[in-house]
A and B are shown apart, each in its own frame.
Chain A
Amino acid sequence: MKNFLAFITVLVLGYMIVVSLDNNEAFPAYGEADVSSRVSQAFIDRSVTEDPGDIIFGQATNLESGPANIVTAIVADYRSFDTLGEVTVLFVSSLGVALLLGGKKQKRLELNFHPNFMLRVGSRALFGIILMTGVYIAIHGHLTPGGGFPGGAMIASSMLLLYLADDEFRAKIKGFKMLESFAGTAYVLIGLTGLLLGGYFLENLLDNGVIGDLFSAGIIPIVYVLIGLKVGSEISGIIDNFLTEEGV
């Protein structure tokens, strides 16, 4: 009886969902939506500014949101509060790893196999290039594909390379923790400044500049660099937790 009632309920609910999604005003059929009246299309066309002229790379100024990469505009400007939540999720996961594996971490895991000479010396040489690539990706998030999250992941991979290539190497994990707290605090402070001066949290209060320049797009590059630092230091902390053990 109970199963039968449940089946009936599910059937009715399913029928209602199908009917409500089928070709009415709110959900038109596939391909028939009038996207030009939707908000997202307006943002992509940037015609919500007062002067909906052409966007010319390297010349156009005073845009709705400055970056040349529309994904960055969505992630770090329109939905920046959501990104703050994502960074918090990453922070909670790194906290979980630290709670499970942490403790008085004193020294590296003792392995009975060692990296060979070429790896040990070569990783020291490649480390600079890899780290610089990560920094470049984090800084240029508003101009090129990429941004804070991939840049932070690249920074953490360079640390992982050093951990794998040297048995004695241990990063200054205290510095990483300080960097992480600094980046998170600065992110929230920028948001609060926007709230005080502009009226809502994380408002883009700086000048947007010329599209395509390095110094443009208001607070977006600053926020993205902070995200990159935070992600990089958190993932480095996770790596450190996995590769160390308690001891004297």
Chain B
Amino acid sequence: MMDIIVFSLIGLGVLFAVSRLLIGPTPADRVVSLDTFNIIVIGVIALLANQFENSLYLDIAIVYGILAFIETIVFARYLEGQHGDC
């Protein structure tokens, strides 16, 4: 029962973040929502590890978190280089 509540709360959060990813007017908005989405997914993987009672999934959560951080940095540096003259 409690699992359903937790998972539905997180699912709503993912839904909102992804809708900002779809409508976000500027590229920066999309990257921000992707960043938020990534942090949520770390929590979801840890929750799945709890559900399946298998600590191996935590390794995946760590690796996903690290790759998400590097992805955010790469996108930020890329957007920084994109600015034209204004």
Contact = CB atoms under 8 A, between A and B. Distances in A.
Contact of B81 (A113, A160, A165): A113
Interface residues of A, number: 19
A145 B77 contact: no
A84 interface: no
Given A119-B73, A157-B67, A137 B59 contact: yes
Interface string B45-85: 00000000000100110110011011001100100110100
B77 A115 contact: yes
A245 B67 CA distance: 27
A161 B59 contact: no
A144 B66 contact: no
A150 to B, nearest CB: 7
A154 B66 contact: yes
B54 to A, nearest CB: 10
A119 B1 CA distance: 42
Give the residue among B80, B81, B83 with the most A Cβ atoms within 10 A.
B80
Contacts of A165: 73
14 contacts: A111-B81, A113-B77, A113-B80, A113-B81, A119-B73, A130-B66, A133-B62, A146-B59, A150-B63, A154-B63, A157-B66, A161-B70, A164-B73, A165-B73
